[in-house]
Amino acid sequence: MPDSSTPEPQGATLRQAWIIQRRVIGALMLREILTRYGRHNIGFLWLFAEPMLFTLGVTALWTATKSVHGSNLPIVAFAVTGYSSVLLWRNMPARCIGAIAPNLSLLYHRNVRPIDIYLSRVLLEAAGATMSFVFLVLFFNFIGWLAMPEDALQIAGAWLMLAWFGASAALLLGALSEVSETVEKLWHPASYILFPLSGAAFLVDSLPKAAQDVVLTLPMVHGVEMLREGYFGSQIVAHYDTAYMALINTVLTILGLAQVSKISRTVVPE
């Protein structure tokens, strides 16, 4: 019979911690779905129906106004690839800002920590935006309005980079919002200002060189360009630097995790 005083092997401890955290995050995701969408009407299907309706609305608006986007690509293809990417990175910070206060009672549970609350919301937003994007591509392809992508693997890579950017920004802004309410007040106008600059509504190649240099300082522009190159291939000339975007994402992730660790030591359950 093993001696109970003997420390458990490090591998077993890490495995148990992973299992516990996975269960905690899963439970928090289910709770968030029920809290946000309830059990009525289509329930959890709103998770991807909501971003899908936003994208359809923007697609219809851009089509009706014959919006100019600097290329010969169909406006539907341009809107689906552009606005879906915006929803992916923009909604994560919006859901994580101020996320701790309404969930303070959950922190009485030993295994629930602030980062679990943030991760559950980040994963929900990523899942909703991804399901919406995939469904719209398949739907518009089915009715003949959109061809299938030329390089699905590159699209997956670009999507992951955009999700990483959104998640790291969400951790940092969510944790900072627990220190200052100004973060919430600033993020909403900032997200609307960033939308037209994010590459969702234009191709970088269609801009003058000076404007290209300016917009390419924004990391999400690189993700959108990479995604569109994967989707449309030789039909466009894409401008992006994966290493630059990865560097910005890494810095944001480190700052976000450090800030989350800091507030974890000071937040008081109620």
Spell out the residues 6+ positions from residue 214 whose beta carbon is closer than 8 angstroms to its own.
Answer: none
Count of CA atoms in the C-beta half-sphere (13 A) of 126: 20
Provide the pLDDT for residue 46. 72
Kindly give the parts of the chain with pLDDT less than 50: 1-8
Listed residue (178, 186, 185) closest to 262, CA to CA: 178
For 51, other C-beta atoms within 10 Å of its C-beta total: 25
Dihedral angle, C-alpha 210, 213, 218, 222, nearest 10 °:
120
For 142, other C-beta atoms within 10 Å of its C-beta total: 9
pLDDT tens digits, 244-255: 999 999 999 999
Spell out the residues 6+ positions from residue 55 whose beta carbon is closer than 8 angstroms to its own.
Answer: 79, 80, 83, 84, 87, 132, 133, 136
Provide the pLDDT for residue 69. 59
For 56, other C-beta atoms within 10 Å of its C-beta total: 18
Q: Provide the whole-model pTM.
A: 0.87
